[in-house]
Amino acid sequence: MSLKNSSKKWSNYIMSKTQKLVDIIRTHGKISFGELCSEGRIAPSTLYAYKKVILAKFQDIEFDRDNFKVKD
């Protein structure tokens, strides 16, 4: 397997997981960081990295130091 294919698979995995997390946020409307960890089956330290991607790519999602929520 080439490095390019490996990188693409990793990128696809990250975006797939990100989309699942965003779907959870959108379903709840507002969800705490800890609840999202639990429902998304993701470690808190990992969610911090995903938070950057979520906030950069999904303009309808915001984070207020405790909760993710869908913007009004």
Domain extents in the chain: 3-70
**Residue 69 phi/psi, 5° resolution?**
-155, 160
Per-residue model confidence (pLDDT) at position 5: 66
Residue 1's pLDDT band (cuts 50, 70, 90): very low
Q: For Cα atoms 3, 8, 9, give the angle at the middle one, nearest 5 degrees.
A: 100
Amino acid at residue number 9: K
Structural class in CATH, domain 3-70: mainly alpha
Q: What is the pLDDT of residues 3-57, one digit of tens each?
A: 566 778 878 889 999 999 999 999 999 999 999 999 999 999 999 999 999 999 9
Between 1 and 18, the more confident residue is 18
Residue 59: strand, helix, or coil: coil
CA distance 25 to 70: 7
